[in-house]
Copies of this chain bind each other. A is one copy, B any other.
Amino acid sequence: MSANKTLRRPLRKDGLTIGEIAGRTGLAVSAIRYYESEGLITPWRNDSGQRRFERADIRRLSFIMIAQGLGASIAEIRAQLVRLPKGRTPTAGDWRRLSEHYRADLDRRIAQLEKLRNDLDGCIGCGCLSLERCSLYNPGDRAGGNGPGPRYLLGDSPGRD
């Protein structure tokens, strides 16, 4: 068969290597391994123990990256990913269902930021900053110190520009 001359895209039946996946997603190899260790992806192994990925894993990793960009933790993302069907490759509809979660999240977050902006105008803006009555200290879902650990609401790249 002349079809096995790899017609431009190998589409190798034995899957993609971790390096290939890294190249396609822009993720570091170490990050991909880490995601596996966290149960976000489950590549299979070939005979010599190397990870092999399906093309659908690229989409899965893309989802992970996007969700992280939206502020989701690994645990949160894992919780979303288990909603995908096991046993078959997720369809566009499956992904859409997950994305709706973040859509709603985004709506909440935007509303919250707008409230924050109003508060900022009213509170720091006026110079009062008196904190006994300032709503800025608990902008909605801020735990306020009950329990350790990083609590962040919004972030930006530290130390850039």
A residues sitting closer than 8 Å to B (CB atoms) are: 24-28, 58-59, 62-63, 65-66, 68-73, 75-76, 91-93, 95-96, 98-99, 102-103, 105-107, 109-110, 113-114, 116-117, 120-121, 124-131, 134, 136-137, 139, 141-145, 149, 151-160
User: Pick the contact of A127 from B91, B117, B141, B151 — CB < 8 Å?
Assistant: B91
Are B109 and A75 neighbours in the complex by a CB distance under 8 Å?
A: no
In the complex, which residue of chain B has the Cβ closest to the Cβ of A154?
Answer: B71
Are A117 and B124 neighbours in the complex by a CB distance under 8 Å?
A: no
Are B117 and A96 neighbours in the complex by a CB distance under 8 Å?
A: no
In the complex, which residue of chain B has the Cβ closest to the Cβ of A141?
Answer: B157
In the complex, which residue of chain B has the Cβ closest to the Cβ of A59?
Answer: B129
Are B127 and A95 neighbours in the complex by a CB distance under 8 Å?
A: yes
Are A110 and B113 neighbours in the complex by a CB distance under 8 Å?
A: yes
With known contacts A124-B96, A124-B99, A144-B26, A155–B158 Cβ distance under 8 A: no
By a CB distance below 8 angstroms, the chain B residues around A134 are: 62, 66
Are A76 and B124 neighbours in the complex by a CB distance under 8 Å?
A: no
Please report the C-alpha to C-alpha distance between residue A157 and residue B141 in the assembled complex, in whole angstroms: 7
In the complex, which residue of chain B has the Cβ closest to the Cβ of A25?
Answer: B131
By a CB distance below 8 angstroms, the chain B residues around A151 are: 155, 157-158
Are B71 and A99 neighbours in the complex by a CB distance under 8 Å?
A: no
By a CB distance below 8 angstroms, the chain B residues around A156 are: 71-73, 76, 105, 109, 141, 153
Please report the C-alpha to C-alpha distance between residue A72 and residue B152 in the assembled complex, in whole angstroms: 9
